[in-house]
Structure 1
Amino acid sequence: MRKFIFSFLLVGSISFAQKLTIEETVTGGRKYAPTTQTAQQWRKDSKSITYLSSDYSNLLEKSASNGWKEIILATKTDFENAVKSKITSDEFTMKVFPLVIDWKSKNTFETLAAGKSKIYNVTYDIVSKQISNIKSYPIDAQQAKFANNGNVSWLKENNIKITTASGNVVDVTNDTDKGIVNGSDYVHRQEFGIDQGMWWNEAGTQLAYYRKDETMVGNYPIINWNEREAVNNDIKYPMAGMTSENVTLVVYDVASGKKVTIQTGEPKEQYLTMVSWEPTGKNIFIGILNREQNHLKFNKYDAQTGAFVKTLFEEKASTWVEPQHPLTFVPNNPTQFIYQTDFNGYNQMYLYNTDGKLLKNLGFNDVVVKDMLGFDTKRTKINYIGTANNGLDRQLYQVDLKSGKTIQLTTVSGTHIASVSSDGTMVLDQYSNVTTPNEISIIDIKSKKAKQLVKADNPFTGKIDMPKMELVTLTSADGKTPLNGRIIYPADFDATKKYPVMVYVYGGSHAQLVTNRWLGGGGYFDYYMAQQGYVVFTLDNRGSDARGKKFCDVNHRQLGVNEMADQMEGVKFLKSKSFVDQDKIGVFGWSFGGFMTTTLMTSQADTFKVGVAGGPVIDWKYYEIMYGERYMDTPQENPEGYAKASLLDKAKNLKGRLLIIHGAQDPVVVQQNSMNFIESCIKAGKQVDYFLYPNHEHNVGGRDRIHMYAKIADYFDVYLKKNN
């Protein structure tokens, strides 16, 4: 009897928290999301913020005028009724309130409404509950761009059409050759900040668009295995050192139907980016980057004739020049614009006039501008999100255009998503850090006082026993540069025991894995593996994002060399820990991380016993021109660098167990990379494991991702943790 009572009391005291499931490595981000305000933003011309209700059925508001109490501002039902009463020629079924809205005035916002036959851009008045100013395009149209006067341009396959404000549909292009692509954002493989292929002038009377001629680029086979007989879908994949696409910019006049090709000149194999209309519509600006990617000319052209007017400025580098942003013109001043560049070390803003004269350097210390948020109401200041704390943090800054003086509007260390009210007096600040899941406040800029709106509890409390995580700082292999790292300790960590290690790596440009935000930037699979008894470690080596240009330049013409050297500093750090089993260190990475994984497995074969390389670049001569030649130049110009980075002749060094995973329809890192590595392993008499996801491209998504993570976890368990 006493034993029963004791057992009952013992069970009653046990926490029912548990570990993540393999399914939650994919679904956990939604399931355990910290409390927040979804789609929050300032309501224009007010001291109010709006956001969606938890069931997405209502638009809610909190306002300074009522002490930041929550009220319903608009409902899905009212919005849906307004759309149906105004657009009777189509059918609508709206399950939620529009997820994305753009406030145009205090009482009106623009959003999209999907009918059965068309997509509608509508303006909704929350007071009158009426729809006005409707623009539309067919439901199967792609990449629609709306002009201020009601015209809409859109794509049908490789051609451009315009639905005018009066409802007429105009064919802008009629190319039958699929090798001629008009208006698409998939130009120069979306490098150089390219995210659109059509640009309306401010009046909506002329459309500038890319015309990409890729007929000279060889066809590359991508096999679709879903058909009764497998089908070959050819893509254009210009590989490093081979023939590239030719791109021009064309201006189409809606009224006359006239087309003018901008005279961007020779050679044809060059990159056109940073396309920007002058507000007057008279001129258009284009960044002309040579194929070598080391010389940028920022040019002005006459939009009516296509004639070259002048070069405003140039940038040259011994490594590379990488334009990333179009111009941002100062509101109500068509003669001044903001230009962003990392030419002087960090991506920062510069104020120019349209004659090319530099008026003001708006940069601040070593802050990297990550997101330019726009101007204040008086058009005298710019708000932006920038880096801090050696790239770990994101903070809100404000710079004065006249003086160049910068102030930091948010201060708590962490990752801030923040914006300033229309009148410039308040900040809507949302942030997290390694100890704060989510906090949302309104900050008075003048008094610095804050009104807390949301303070999320730890979403894992009582549900999941999350492993301990900490951020660490190491020094690069050259002994000069601090590097950011993250270590996740095994569940029920005991410092007297020894644990296997999984190093999760990326290491390439434009990516940062370690940040001062909730979970430290770690993914749910990282935490899952820690719960299975692994030390999980990640290091952002030189070449990764948010640390400035010099942080990346050291890798020019020698990808993998300094990145691997830095990763080995991470290994040295791990080996200094008594709880690390030095004989059980593994590595996992995807894409550039797959390249890094395979590099480490073949060049540091005595250290890494198990590796999983997803979608790996094996030889940079198999990768596309725009990215590959930026960092490596061409194989003809840099044969030694390509040979050193190639893993084909290093397969013979493989000692541990290596699993390579590839999407069979990968158009980014083509399967030729991994297939040729497998062939090299066979010739070298090395065993290697290979797994294909037949219906996936570069990433494995959906429920198949759960299958992938299960396979990776099992591979580490069998060959690293359990293998003695």
Structure 2
Amino acid sequence: MRKLLILFLLSSSMAYGQRNFSIDETVFGPGKFAPKTIYVSKWIKNVDAFSSLDSTYQNLLVRDAKNNWQAKQLISKSDLQNALAKAISTDKIELRRFPSDYQWIDVNNIAFQIEGEKNKYQIKYDLSKKQVTVLNTVPSELANTMSNASQNKTAYLNGNNIEIIDATGNKIVVTKDTVDGIVNGSEVVHRNEFGIDQGMWWSANDKLLLYYRKDESMVTKYPLPQWDSRVATVKDIRYPMAGMKSEEVTLNIFNTETGETIRLQTGEPKEQYLTIVTWDPSSEFVYVGVLNRGQDHLKLNKYNANTGAFISTLFEEQSTTWVEPQHTLAFVPNKANQFLYQTDKDGFNQLFLYDTQGKLIRKLGYQDVVVTDFQGFNTKGTKAYYIGANNNGLERHLFEVDLQSGKTTALTHTAGTHNASISTSGNYVLDQYSNLSVPNKVQVINRKGNQSSTILEAGNPFTGKIALPKIELKSFTSADGKTPLNARILYPNNFDPTKKYPVMVYLYGGSHAQLVTDKWLGAAGYFDLYMAQQGYIVFTLDNRGSDARGRDFTRVTHRNLGEAEMADQLVGINYLKSLAYVDSENMGIFGWSFGGFMSSSFMTKHNDIFKAAVAGGPVIDWKYYEIMYGERYMDTPEENPEGYEKTSMLNKADQLKGHLLIIHGAQDPVVVQQHSMEFVQKCIEAGKQVDYFLYPTHEHNVMGKDRIHMYDKIAKYFDQYLKK
């Protein structure tokens, strides 16, 4: 019944008078046609109430259980503007909208950051008094600022060095490195793999600053030509290619009271990865995941924060493929000697409760649910909450786990993708979700009676405006016959099964990405929708190696990237070819980055399937890719010569058939342009024609209005070769 309803809803959007997307809307459509929602919602501490911003971002609203979750205005932007003018008279501050980074301190106070012409300010706003207190002030020009909890000290980067400014404006110079290639305090360490998103951490006592020191002076410089002057110049980046010399990273601690710096004794070899860096709540210890360059052996080490001395290895994790730490430790409130650690070592990324001596207290995993977003603890520290992927990765739900018993409870149930959170009391769930037939629904669930109050139920934003293609989610079995695979099909408008249609396969296929989920539009992009409206069947499948399906689903690709992935894609492709309404003589394939690697691989290794392909920013040979990502999956070229040979496109240019368009950003620091240039040269030598287009000012992705140009080019390329 639900399936019939979905098909009815989607087909009914094809009503007379509706139009197709314009090419501009492939880029700007997601904002223009977003389903209605509530914005920046947050539970208020210690009360059963939550706040949100109105659709204009001008007012902060509040809803509470006592008033049946009806919205009322709490603060207006003008209230806040007036309070700021009274508190800060020496700087010009003009709010365009209410700050979306607001955080609740308690039921009466919120905190946020604003920026004036001269300074950045950390603000506390008292709701009862309508009064602003300035907690912290730093000059606007400071970059990568990181304030301690009491807001009396702020660390920031001055070039490649760290400085600290205190509440009185006094400056402390932390590092003074002048050697090109030595970088302090930056989050750009280990190429941002292993979940690294910051380079400095304050201790809980606000006195100690822990930071990365990266020495990449020995890493080969890679030239990126710059075209913005009459005579082109060169911008050099440090780019460690697989098998070559890598950066050397250490962790230091600066004591703001003594002015002394100590280095954590993380030991040898120097080419290792320092990950999941976490302060102990006592400020006496630091925990670091020390991962070897081969990425198959992790040690969780404990260090003395006063001396830097190694204390102990709490536990180790080893694998015949790879170990991939992604999340810092989460210490349990009220139990400073216990923390949660995330790992997929038992099959799925789940939570494990340890003590600070390294003893495993309890596994907290639930079925085959993959933890995708850990949300924290209740105030007593007895329960933890997380968003988890289930139903073969198609759905996202909120789960509660009891730390003492390990009992896990699903707090959301409707099929779909949920973004949900729990109130401080634990009695209510604020739940926002969508699925293939529901554009967006926001509700509050009362856990005591499992009753829900609807806050907002969005209608179909395309009704009466856009002729939305029919979308179906499908399931296949992987090439090894063991594993379910998720796929999505978009049908042309006014689809007629007695006709034949060209096909565009859109894919990615690599790790840490998932293209098909049970959410609004089936997670399809607007270019997919556009191409379906132009008369294409658009097909996408998440093969083994992609995200949110567990350890074994990903590890099958080890040392042979692209092989199992293509085998799975062929399952879906063969299904398409079996359909009477598919024009199997006019099929195209499009992907970017890893998807570009997959597209070009198909045009050489399985060269009798696709008549046309577009490969954006493609990896052509993994020996040109960077160490941190490349060696995880492929090992080094010296360790795995057969794998590198098998997966390279450079020795297969003579097998190229069909029409291949390669698109590359000339400033790409991720998949450097050398990949595509080398392949073009091999095509020339083999007498093979290949189309090539360069975006001179763009990096790995083509963004902004130029992205419209890119999509227009891709659409016209497929039209040229696939439409009769």
TM tier relative to shorter chain:
over 0.9
Q: Which runs of 4+ in 1 moved over 4 A?
A: none
| Contact in 2 for aligned 1:149/1:165 (Cα 8 Å) | no
Equivalent position to 1:488, from 490, 496, 517: 490
How far residue 350 of structure 1 moved from its aligned partner, in angstroms, is 0.7
Q: Where does residue 80 of structure 1 map in the other structure?
A: 81
Q: How do residues 2-401 of structure 1 correspond to structure 2 at under 5 angstroms?
A: 15-150=16-151, 151-401=153-403
CA distance in 2, matches of 1:624, 1:137: 36
In structure 1, the partner of 2:552 is 550
Is 1:583 aligned with 2:591?
A: no
1:454 equivalent in structure 2: 456
Task: Give TM-score scaled by structure 2 length.
Answer: 0.97
Q: Which amino acid aligns with 2:626?
A: E
Q: CA deviation at 1:67?
A: 1.9
% same residue: 57
Change in 2 beyond 3 A, CA 1:93/1:229: farther
SS of the residue 1:79 aligns to:
helix
Unmatched segments (≥5 aa) in structure 1: 1-12
Deviates most, 114-123 or 710-719:
114-123
CA-atom RMSD in angstroms = 1.1
Distance in 2 separating the partners of 1:253 and 1:614? 47
Deviation at 1:14, TM superposition (A): 7.9
Question: Cα distance, 1:627 vs. partner?
Answer: 0.2
The letter for the 2-side match of 1:117 is: K
For each residue in 1:652-705, what CA deviation from the matched residue of structure 2 results, as whole angstroms up to 9, or x when unmatched?
111100000000000010000000000011001000000001110000000000
The Cα of 1:133 is off from its aligned counterpart by: 4.6
The match for 1:659 among 641, 658, 661 is: 661
Aligned counterparts of 1:204 and 1:58: Cα–Cα separation in 2: 34
Q: Is the Cα–Cα contact under 8 Å of residues 136 and 163 in structure 1 kept in the other structure?
A: no
Report the alpha carbon displacement of residue 383 of structure 1 after superposing the two structures with TM: 0.9
- Residue 294 of structure 1: how far off its partner (Å): 0.3
* Amino acid across the alignment from 1:23: D
Q: What's 1:701 paired with?
A: 703
Assess if the C-alpha contact under 8 Å between 2:15 and 2:467 holds in 1: no
One-letter amino acid of the structure 2 residue matched with residue 19 of structure 1: N
Distance 1:602 1:14, change over 3 A: closer
Residue identity in the other structure for 2:555: D
Question: Whole-Å Cα distance in 2 between the matches of residues 248 and 507 of structure 1?
Answer: 34
Q: CA deviation at 1:135?
A: 1.3
Alpha-carbon distance in 2 for matches of 1:74, 1:363: 41
Matched position secondary structure for 2:460: coil
Work out the CA distance in 1 between the residues paired with 2:95 and 2:167. 25
Q: TM-score, normalised by structure 1?
A: 0.97
CA distance in 2, matches of 1:576, 1:137: 64
CA contact (8 A) 1:377 1:424 kept: no
Q: CA deviation at 1:169?
A: 1.5
Counterpart code for 1:525: F
Query: For the residues of structure 1 that align with 2:296 and 2:411, how far apart are their CA atoms?
Result: 36
Alignment of 1:603-614 (within 5 A): 603-614=605-616
Describe the SS at the equivalent of 1:581.
Answer: strand
Which stretch shifts more, 263-272 or 94-103?
94-103
Aligned match of 1:621 in 611, 615, 623? 623
Q: Deviations over 1:574-631 (max 9, x none)?
A: 0121110111111000000000000011111110110000000000000000000000
Distance, in Å, in 2 between the alignment partners of 1:478 and 1:139 is 56
CA contact (8 A) 2:332 2:381 kept: yes
Which runs of no fewer than 5 residues in structure 2 stay unpaired?
Answer: 1-13
**Partner of residue 636 from structure 1, selected from 635, 638, 641:** 638
SS of the residue 1:215 aligns to: coil
Letter of the 1:488 counterpart: L
Preserved CA contact (<8 Å) 2:15 2:464: no
1:685 corresponds in structure 2 to 687
SS of the equivalent of 2:713 reads helix
Distance in 1 (alpha carbons) for counterparts of 2:721 and 2:699: 27
Aligned partners of 1:162 and 1:169 also within 8 Å: yes
Give 1:228 shift: 2.6
Select between 502-511 and 116-125 the one with higher mean Cα deviation. Answer: 116-125
Contact 2:333 2:379 in 1 (8 A): no
CA contact (8 A) 1:101 1:111 kept: yes
- Is residue 244–residue 269 contact of structure 1 (8 Å, CA) maintained in 2? yes
| Mapped partners of 1:615, 1:135: distance in 2 | 43
